[in-house]
């Protein structure tokens, strides 16, 4: 079904044909807009931003670009096309028709997963709220806002499911999604990483690379769901999500590129000579590594415990599948299978075979790690092409964890177990210190001239929508 833009809420779900749902969503809409004005991007409510908006769900040409003020963005409800005669692809009900309604016995599990997914979307907008004030360019500012409005739309995607399929409970949950606040002591967001600060643009790029990639993995798993409306919703969200990870990957590439260029121009041969590199006004590679360590491990926590009965139950029930489930060649039930899990055994990190069903979080996390490596290869290529012997690496999964098997121990990024005293003495060798944060903050002065870029980041190779380098992506009212 085509997207209807005449409606107050653009949609391709025939909202006009379901009056009570339409009323419920139209009732929620002003609350969403209030939330956006209060907790969305600061200071830029009246700026004209060059944004893409979904106009179809066709993978080839789904978005159009145009100038819009963010509070007037057309947030809507879009489902990917239905797959005819779609069947449940895993679990106890493998091969049965996918559900078009919520099965009573799975109601609370489905609700919990949809609410958890929904909670991350406004959380991320809140986390990134102040970044516009220190943008390195109009190009980057526009990308930040694109990510923001689409996370807002992903909130709409989950609120639609809650309000359409979960009655009064769903409406209450939709209100709660606007009530919790990232980092709030009394009413925090649900998952750890979404209560962390994102204080500078390097954090933003790390966040969009590592945390949005957890989003990708989780959405892929939910796109396998036997609950067809959830599957179709997630499939379309994934189309939008790709750009967010692109922003992260190219953002980090551009920071690394600029640092390497500046080091070469200054004749610096040792990239770990932090004081010398910082004196050039660029971010040294060891500090980039520390930020990477932080955001990667916060994102690992988002996969939950390595061994989880929640994950097994959701799989058995046909609610949450594996990454690329349909392409995996096995029985899709996993009753007799095992999967190797890293565990703490007698004070050592060991690989232990666990039932594959309870190890599903670990498996998804392994798929995630493999996906993360691709960016590191690109960043390391930039470093080696510049002639430097330095490699960015992913830390061991036992390092800096708050969830799962390693939450009560300390380990170095190489996976060597250490005691509390050593950890406290050395943690800032591996994670950003206040001084590191202060240094990065000192570089974060806004650059808003057309075609101009902050001196700590290279310009992108191509513009958004093939726009030229001097394109005014955001018109800021002065």
The binding site for ligand BYC (CB under 6 A) comprises 112-113, 116-117, 120-121, 124, 151, 191-192, 211-212, 214-215, 218, 301-305, 308, 310-311, 320, 361, 403
Least separation, in Å, of the C-beta of 153 and ligand BYC? 11
φ/ψ of residue 350, rounded to 5: -130, 155
Q: Which residues are 351's β-sheet partners?
A: 342
| Shortest distance, position 374 Cβ to ligand BYC, whole Å | 18
Q: 388: Cβ–Cβ under 8 A, 6 or more apart, which residues?
A: 260, 263, 271, 285
- Which helix H or strand E contains 141, and what residues bound it? helix 138-165
- Cβ-based neighbour number of residue 355 at 10 Å: 16
Residue nearest to ligand BYC (CB): 304
Rank residues 64 and 338 by Cβ distance to ligand BYC and give the closer one: 338
Q: Which is nearer to ligand BYC, 3 or 247 (CB)?
A: 247
Do residues 44 and 72 lie in contact, with contact meaning Cβ atoms separated by under 8 Å? Answer: no
Task: Say if CB 133 and CB 42 are below 8 A apart.
Answer: yes
Distance (Å, whole) CA 206 – CA 193: 12
* Residue 278: φ, ψ to 5°: -65, -30
Report residue 254 as tokens: 């551009």
Smallest distance from the beta carbon of 388 to ligand BYC, in angstroms? Answer: 31
Minimum distance of ligand BYC from residue 211's CB (angstroms): 4
Confirm if 134 and 446 have CB atoms less than 8 A apart: yes
Q: Which is nearer to ligand BYC, 36 or 303 (CB)?
A: 303
Choice between 199 and 446, CB closer to ligand BYC: 199
Residue 64's DSSP bridge partners are: 53
Residue 449 CB partners (closer than 8 Å, separation 6+): 138
Q: In sequence order, which ranges of 10-130 are alpha helices (DSSP H)?
A: 19-39, 107-127
Closer to ligand BYC at the Cβ: 13 or 403?
A: 403
CB of 403 to ligand BYC, least distance (A): 5
- Which DSSP string do the residues of 374-387 spell out, in sequence order? HHHHHHHHHHHHTT
User: Least CB distance from residue 307 to ligand BYC, whole Å?
Assistant: 8
Q: How far apart are CA 408 and CA 97, in angstroms?
A: 43
Query: Minimum distance from CB of 247 to ligand BYC (Å)?
Result: 11
Q: Which is nearer to ligand BYC, 27 or 407 (CB)?
A: 407
Nearer to ligand BYC, 88 or 359 (CB): 359
Task: Quote the least distance from Cβ 96 to ligand BYC, whole Å.
Answer: 22
Nearer to ligand BYC, 285 or 397 (CB): 397
């Amino acid at each position: 079904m085509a997207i209807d833009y005449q409606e107050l809420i653009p949609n391709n779900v025939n909202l006009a044909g379901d009056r009570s749902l339409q009323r419920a969503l139209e009732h929620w809409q002003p609350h969403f807009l209030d939330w956006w004005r209060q907790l969305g991007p600061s200071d830029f409510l009246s700026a004209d931003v060059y944004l893409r908006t979904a106009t179809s769900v066709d993978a080839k040409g789904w978005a159009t670009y145009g100038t819009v003020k963010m509070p007037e963005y057309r947030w809507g409800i879009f489902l990917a096309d239905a797959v005819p005669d779609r069947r449940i692809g895993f679990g106890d009900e493998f091969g049965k028709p996918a559900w078009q309604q919520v099965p009573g016995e799975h109601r609370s599990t489905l609700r919990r997963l949809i609410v958890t997914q929904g909670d991350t979307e406004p959380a991320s907008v809140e986390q990134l709220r102040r970044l516009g004030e220190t943008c390195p360019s109009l190009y980057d500012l526009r990308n930040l806002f694109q990510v923001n409005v689409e996370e807002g739309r992903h909130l709409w995607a989950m609120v639609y499911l809650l309000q359409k399929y979960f009655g009064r409970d769903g409406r209450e949950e939709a209100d709660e999604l606007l009530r919790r606040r990232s980092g709030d002591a009394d009413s925090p967001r649900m998952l750890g990483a979404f209560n962390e600060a994102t204080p500078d643009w390097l954090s933003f790029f790390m966040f969009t690379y590592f945390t949005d990639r957890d989003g990708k993995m989780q959405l892929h798993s939910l796109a396998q769901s036997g609950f067809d409306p959830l599957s179709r919703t997630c499939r379309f969200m994934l189309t939008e999500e790709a750009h967010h990870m692109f922003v992260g990957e190219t953002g980090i590439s551009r920071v690394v590129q600029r640092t390497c260029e500046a080091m070469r121009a200054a004749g610096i041969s040792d990239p770990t000579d932090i004081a010398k590199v910082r004196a050039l006004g660029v971010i040294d590679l060891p500090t980039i590594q520390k930020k990477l360590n932080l955001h990667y491990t916060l994102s690992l926590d988002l996969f939950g415990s390595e061994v989880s009965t929640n994950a097994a139950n959701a799989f058995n029930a046909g609610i949450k599948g594996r990454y690329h489930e349909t392409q995996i060649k096995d029985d899709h039930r996993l009753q007799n299978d095992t999967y190797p899990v890293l565990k703490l055994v007698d004070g050592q990190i060991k690989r232990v075979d666990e039932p594959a069903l309870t190890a599903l979080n670990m498996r998804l996390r392994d798929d995630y790690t493999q996906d993360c490596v691709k960016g590191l290869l690109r960043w390391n290529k930039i470093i080696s092409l510049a002639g430097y012997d330095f490699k960015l690496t992913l830390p061991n999964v036992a390092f800096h964890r708050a969830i799962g098997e390693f939450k009560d121990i300390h380990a170095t990024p190489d996976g060597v177990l250490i005691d509390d005293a050593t950890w406290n003495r050395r943690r800032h060798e591996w994670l950003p210190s206040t001084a590191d944060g202060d240094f990065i903050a000192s570089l974060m002065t806004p650059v808003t001239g057309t075609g101009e870029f902050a001196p700590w980041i290279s310009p992108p190779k191509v513009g958004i929508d093939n726009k030229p380098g001097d394109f005014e992506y955001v018109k800021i009212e002065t």
